[in-house]
Amino acid sequence: MRRGTFWSWLWISLGALYFLLPLIGTFIFSLRARRDELSFAAYDSAFSDPRFWEAFGFSAMMAVFTVIVSLLITVPTAYWVQLRLPRLRPIVELITLLPFVIPAVVLVFGLIRIYSRPPLALTGAIFTTNLLLIAGYTVLSLPYMYRAVDTGLRAIDIRTLTEAAQSLGAGWPTIIWHIIFPNLRTALLSGAFLTFAIVVGELVLASFLARPAFAPYLAQLINNRAYEPAALTIVSFLITWACIGLISFFGQHRAGGESQLAGPR
Amino acid sequence: MAQIAQPEMREMPVSPVALRRVSWAWLGVVPFFLFAIAFMILPALSLISGSVQDRQGNFTLENIINLSQPFILNAYWLSIRISLVTAIGGGLFGFLLAYTVTVGGLPKSVRNGLMTFSGVASNFAGVPLAFAFIATLGRVGFITVLLKTLFNIDIYSAGFNLYSFVGLSLAYMYFQFPLMVLIISPALDGLKREWREACENLGGNSWHYWRYVALPILLPSLLGTMILLFGNAFGAYATAQALTGGSLNLVTIVIGAQIRGDVLNNPGLGYALALGMVVVMAISITGYSWLQRKTERWLR
């Protein structure tokens, strides 16, 4: 037993090293902006670039819209499938798995092929390109969002809740908005935070649709600067950490539940 | 609803209300299906149709056949190799780590730490991940410099290069093994103590238990998750692009270059390339869910 524990500690230490070293390396690197001293100068400089705030603001805004669209699509569908159309469950689940089968770079390839020429030339104007971007992000978030919502719905007795609300005279908007949404709060929050983390870090869609998001900005910064990208790498790690932390804080989801799994990037 | 509706049906056999309700029910999922068709199925179909057309729009299988030219085969082969290496490497390492915190007897706090970290790291991919490795193992990276000053070892003159197959594999492992930890831990938790006791009562030792009980139960899940990791690496673009600047010709990188400016000089070939990618991903996801279901039977 003691020997077994020794090996366990050895492996977990190796894992911790592998995990921490790149972060430590990046962090130390980010402090070296001034010669012969450690300072947060790189952070100052990174944050004082107005393009950073534009890019980050743009990504955050896209993330918020993606969360809203994703919720509007998945919640009514998951609810309806559970309540009325259980026969559709396999096909709906299959569709929510499609984003795993279509990598982002292939997805954007197809989106550009369809929506960059008449009759649906969405890439022609900034506003419609943003809509297309949100649609693409929603596709990427679909597996996590749907699974989070579906797990949440299974945990509560939606049939009884719905029938109780109906017998008190509630209509469908009231039922969805005042009964289902509040009861799904934790599930929806974990889906929302994961979506937020995915969208803010996403490079492929934004870069091929030529929108000024955070990841393309960071990718360009790597080519031009040395220390600012390090600072922003630490920042984006902290954002990911915060999103995942909030998921386990809000959710009674087991840490490591399937709702945290990401797709290829 | 079907069971509840039945008695009502018997009382009023011909019911226009029931008919209307059925048609109503389908409307509830229409937005979802419209969205899926517009933004997933149509784009995918458009790539398929593009891959079987020549420049004039006539049907042809030439693009699919042309996938066998050396440049493209090499791209697929490179993608497959890096996905295999990181799926097997990440899978084994992830399994070992999951083992230490589930069956291996490490304290609960270590487990919570590992799980949170895995959730973060499996989502920490793309540009920031690439830069973290540049800052650590690049030419002036933290470890590179540390090794040089402390031990006078120059890993770059010893043949290491971050912007190569080995370097990219190291970076991919950073999101591969946490994914393995997340998926395999519940399976390890599901191993029942009774099985071990039964094995010991029958005179078996630890080796017998793992060889004849635990591994056969876990094997489908292990293999399935490794297949998932394979697909995860196979579809990755951002990390490779940010780390190597597109100098490693993975399939995703070639597709990216094709989107930007028809580097293959043949749009149809680009679509065929993307189609091949979708086929590989579809096989890997199907394999994953099939194998995963096999293990789940035991771990209820």
Cβ atoms < 10 Å from Cβ of B19:
10
Q: Which domain holds residue A163?
A: 50-252
Note the pLDDT of residue B105.
Answer: 76
Q: How far is A51 from chain B (nearest CA, A)?
A: 17
B23 has a pLDDT exceeding 70: no
Domains with residue ranges and CATH for chain B = 62-296 (1.10.3720.10)
The greatest distance separating any two alpha carbons of chain A, rounded to the nearest whole angstrom, comes to: 73
Q: How far is A24 from chain B (nearest CA, A)?
A: 8
Note the pLDDT of residue A251.
Answer: 61
- Please state the domain count of chain A: 1
Which residues in chain B have their CB less than 8 angstroms from residue A261's CB? 122, 179, 182-183
Note the pLDDT of residue A260.
Answer: 46
Does the distance separating the beta carbons of A198 and B255 come in below 8 Å? no
Q: How far is A229 from chain B (nearest CA, A)?
A: 7
Note the pLDDT of residue A89.
Answer: 87
Note the pLDDT of residue A108.
Answer: 92
Q: How far is A206 from chain B (nearest CA, A)?
A: 11
Which of A2, A17, A19, A190 would best serve as a mutation to test chain B binding (most B beta carbons within 10 A)? Answer: A19
Q: Do A133 and A206 meet the contact criterion of CB atoms below 8 Å apart?
A: yes
Q: How far is A174 from chain B (nearest CA, A)?
A: 15
The token duo for A48 is 């004082």
The verdict on residue A40 lying in a domain is: no
List, for residues B252-287, the tens digit of each pLDDT value. Answer: 999 888 888 877 878 888 899 999 999 999 998 888
Size of interface A-B (CB pairs under 8 A): 281
The verdict on residue A264 lying in a domain is: no
Which of B40, B148, B149, B234 would best serve as a mutation to test chain A binding (most A beta carbons within 10 A)? Answer: B40
Which residue is it, tokens 């609803």? B1
Q: Residue B53 in 3-state DSSP?
A: strand
Which residues in chain A have their CB less than 8 angstroms from residue B105's CB? 1, 4-5, 8
CATH number at residue A195: 1.10.3720.10
Note the pLDDT of residue A3.
Answer: 60
Does the distance separating the beta carbons of A229 and B105 come in below 8 Å? no
B14 has a pLDDT exceeding 50: no
Does the distance separating the beta carbons of A26 and B135 come in below 8 Å? yes
The verdict on residue A162 lying in a domain is: yes
Which residues in chain B have their CB less than 8 angstroms from residue A175's CB? none
Q: Residue B61 in 3-state DSSP?
A: coil
Does the distance separating the beta carbons of B43 and A29 come in below 8 Å? no
The verdict on residue A146 lying in a domain is: yes
Indicate the pTM of the whole model: 0.85
Does the distance separating the beta carbons of B126 and A73 come in below 8 Å? no
List, for residues B108-151, the tens digit of each pLDDT value. Answer: 888 888 888 888 888 888 889 999 999 898 888 888 888 888 88
What HEC string does B83-116 produce? HHHHHHHHHHHHHHHHHHHHCCCCCHHHHHHHHH
**Which of B36, B110, B173 has the CB atom closest to A12's CB atom?**
B110
Note the pLDDT of residue A83.
Answer: 84
List, for residues A82-111, the tens digit of each pLDDT value. Answer: 888 888 888 998 899 888 889 999 999 999
Which residues in chain A have their CB less than 8 angstroms from residue B237's CB? 103-105, 203-204, 264-265
Q: How far is B266 from chain A (nearest CA, A)?
A: 14
Nearest CA in chain B to A196: B123
Which residues in chain B have their CB less than 8 angstroms from residue A28's CB? 142
Q: Per-residue DSSP letters for A156-208?
A: S-HHHHHHHHHHTT--HHHIIIIIIHHHTHHHHHHHHHHHHHHHHH--HHHHH
List, for residues B35-51, the tens digit of each pLDDT value. Answer: 999 999 999 999 999 88
- Taking residues B43-67, what's their average pLDDT? 87
The verdict on residue A14 lying in a domain is: no
B154 has a pLDDT exceeding 90: no
Does the distance separating the beta carbons of A106 and B278 come in below 8 Å? yes
Note the pLDDT of residue A87.
Answer: 87
Does the distance separating the beta carbons of B234 and A264 come in below 8 Å? yes
Does the distance separating the beta carbons of A19 and B242 come in below 8 Å? no
Among residues A261, A190, A12, which one has the least CA distance to residue B122? A261
Nearest CA in chain B to A135: B39
Cα(A130)–Cα(B56) distance, integer angstroms: 32
Which of B34, B108, B120, B252 would best serve as a mutation to test chain A binding (most A beta carbons within 10 A)? Answer: B120
The verdict on residue A260 lying in a domain is: no
What Cα–Cα distance (Å) separates residue B127 from each residue in A219, B191, B288? 6, 38, 27
Does the distance separating the beta carbons of B43 and A110 come in below 8 Å? yes
Instruction: Using 70 as the pLDDT threshold, list the residues of chain A that sit under it.
Output: 1-4, 251-265
The verdict on residue A199 lying in a domain is: yes
Does the distance separating the beta carbons of B127 and A215 come in below 8 Å? yes
The token duo for B219 is 């094997």
**Which of B121, B131, B274 has the CB atom closest to A230's CB atom?**
B131
Q: How far is B158 from chain A (nearest CA, A)?
A: 21
Question: How far does Cα A24 stand from its chain's mean position?
Answer: 25
The verdict on residue A180 lying in a domain is: yes
Cα(B38)–Cα(A143) distance, integer angstroms: 17
Q: How would residue B2 be classed by pLDDT, with cut points 50, 70 and 90? A: very low
The token duo for A263 is 């797709």
Predicted-complex ipTM score? 0.85
CA dihedral B192, B196, B201, B206 (to 10 degrees): 180
Give the HSE-up count for residue A254: Cα atoms under 13 Å, Cβ half-sphere.
Answer: 11
Give the DSSP letter of residue B52.
T
E strands, B164-271, are: none
Mean pLDDT (chain B) is 84
Cα(A242)–Cα(A249) distance, integer angstroms: 10
